[in-house]
Amino acid sequence: MMDACYQYSSALWHSLFQRGYRLSDRAERLRLLSPANGQVRPFDPRRYLAVYPEIIETISLYASPRWRRVALANDTTFEQFKAEFNDRLPQERALRSTARSWLLTELRQTATRIEAAALAPAPLQSAPD
């Protein structure tokens, strides 16, 4: 299940940044990781390192059976998950209106994907020859 948490949390952050979700700490981390000229290419591994703490925090949230249940619950209970996500991972500025509704859907769908992976039967391993 941890593989699924890592995979889907990483994908969530990739999508969040594409939609304008910004963290001031990430910008500072990226600046500290940047070469002397301050240029970091789009696919530079340092960009991934700069968001790694958020990925780990997101994994800890979704790896918790309690928080995953809250994320999958009705709208009133889901508000608790959204508040916890925002408390743990505060934004630098508010998302645009279309990105806000996308975020709510994506937070729940990420929980759904991870829950499905957790409930999936483990693949059978063949015996060594």
Question: Comparing C-alpha atoms, which of 64, 70, 47, 71 is closest to residue 2?
Answer: 64
For residues 40 and 73, give the distance between their C-alpha atoms in angstroms, rounded to a whole number. Answer: 40
- In this predicted structure, what is the pLDDT of residue 35? 66
pTM: 0.78
Position 15 confidence tier, pLDDT thresholds 50, 70, 90: confident
Residue 54 has pLDDT above 70, yes or no: yes
% of the chain surpassing 90 pLDDT: 40
- In this predicted structure, what is the pLDDT of residue 124? 65
Residue 55 has pLDDT above 80, yes or no: yes
Residue 61's CB is within 10 A of a number of other CB atoms, namely 23
Mean pLDDT of the 11-18 span: 83
Residue 128's CB is within 10 A of a number of other CB atoms, namely 4
Q: In whole angstroms, how far apart are CA 26 and each of 3, 23, 30?
A: 24, 5, 6
